[in-house]
Amino acid sequence: MKQVPLYEQIYIKILEEIKNGKYRPCQKLPSEKELADFYHVSRITVKKAMGMLAEENRVIRLRGKGSFVSEKCIEKTIMKKSTNASSKLIGVILDGFSPSFACDILYSIQRECEEKGFNMVLRCSGGSLQRETNAIEELVELGVCGFIIMCVHDENYNERILQLVIDHFPIVTIDRQLKGLPVPFVGTDNVAAARDLTKILFDRGYRKVGLVRPKAHKTITLLDRQRGFEMAFQDYNRIVDESLWITDLCSTLPEMMNEENLQQDIEVIDSYLEQHGDIEAFMASEYNVAQILKYCLKKAGRYQEDMIVCFDGPELFFCDSEFTHVKQGESEIGRKSMEILLKAIYGEEHPNAIIIPYLIKGKTGENTNEDTYHFKK
């Protein structure tokens, strides 16, 4: 008789322990190292066994967090609840919105809800992880059948969102992707967009180019924009000089927006400009960052109209854009996020990520009146 491979033996053993209740729904399983030590096998063998369990949706594997027992009964309850006309509520949680970004996303989601017969319930976290958690708890209690969430700028994932994932609760993230988690995402390719923005500065003849962003060092959106900035330097065979970066601003983060932090950021930039008299241009990670930077440059008598590029900005119909900037496809982000969420609610297959095309808007140079620089997917 053919001997059963070790990884299958371990798979069978863990599955039996799940069925007999040793490992209960949503409980974290021992780590691969602990299982390897316990069964006296290699971690590769354990990894194959865990892979089989994950393929059958017996466990959910979250990178950096571990493996958790899947809750099948919760999934069935959610599917039943989601198709109930009396509970057609969609929870939307944003960290904030303004004329420069997210208003059109919100309008689009609301429009899609109306067309599909759902009602939208909105909460804003204000950049607070605790408020985000409270909003999730409140809306789950209210009976929402799915979430669209713009996660807060934070170096750690929200544990309550992890629990939603483990529970198979329908959720879609927008703008900020939770990499390593099996959560559908709709948003912009921030690496490509930042790369294109920085190239524009090089094409304008600038050589000493700095990066300016808030201090949320591990936020994936900001890291992607930083990576795109660096890639543009590689494209032009230029050396990245991190001494020209400002990466510790705080007043643009939703939970830290106050006069004291704004004044602190102004002082940081003023000091930077005094120390770097040869800096020529900047890529700002956000519109509000660009505004502060412009203020400091004008105060120092060093501002030029084409020296700052940034992400986002208010839609101005009767005058030129203040900065050359990435205009994200907000309406499409809202529409697609709702489309994916409804598929998740009704148990249909759906993509894990949709990248929405963007525009780069602003003047291409002094001798042209073109408003749109180029279009990217």
Q: What local confidence, expressed as pLDDT, does residue 276 receive? A: 97
H helices present in the chain, as ranges: 6-19, 32-39, 43-55, 72-82, 103-116, 129-142, 159-166, 190-203, 220-235, 259-275, 287-299, 330-345
Structure token digits, residue 364: 């291409």
Distances (CA, A) of 284 to 118, 246, 261, 344: 38, 10, 18, 36
In the chain, which segments carry CATH 1.10.10.10? 6-70
Q: What local confidence, expressed as pLDDT, does residue 73 receive? A: 37
Task: Find tokens 């209690």 and name the residue.
Answer: 141
**Selecting from 3.30.70.930, 3.30.1180.20, 3.40.50.2300, 3.30.450.20, what CATH number does the domain 73-188+330-346 have?**
3.40.50.2300
Q: What is the dihedral of CA 224, 63, 166, 138, to 10 degrees?
A: -40
CATH number of 190-328+359-376: 3.40.50.2300
Q: What local confidence, expressed as pLDDT, does residue 85 receive? A: 37
* Rounded distance between C-alpha atoms, residue 304 and residue 205, angstroms: 13
* Rounded distance between C-alpha atoms, residue 339 and residue 325, angstroms: 28
pLDDT tens track, the chain, 377 positions: 346 788 888 988 898 888 888 888 878 899 999 999 999 999 999 999 998 888 887 888 887 778 888 765 344 444 444 434 346 899 999 988 888 888 999 999 999 999 999 999 999 998 888 999 999 999 999 999 999 999 987 766 788 888 888 788 999 999 988 877 789 999 999 999 999 999 999 999 999 999 999 987 678 899 999 999 999 999 999 999 999 999 999 998 878 889 999 999 999 999 999 999 999 999 999 999 999 999 999 999 999 999 999 999 887 665 667 899 999 999 999 999 999 999 999 889 899 999 999 999 985 443 333 333 333 44
What pTM, to 2 d.p., does this model score?
0.77
In the chain, which segments carry CATH 3.40.50.2300? 73-188+330-346, 190-328+359-376
Does the domain at 6-70 match CATH 3.90.1170.30? Answer given as no
Q: What local confidence, expressed as pLDDT, does residue 70 receive? A: 78
Residue from 238, 322, 313 nearest 280 by CA? 238
Q: Check if the beta carbon of residue 68 is closer than 8 Å to that of residue 28.
A: yes
Q: Length of the chain, please?
A: 377
Q: For the chain, what is the radius of gyration of the CA atoms?
A: 24
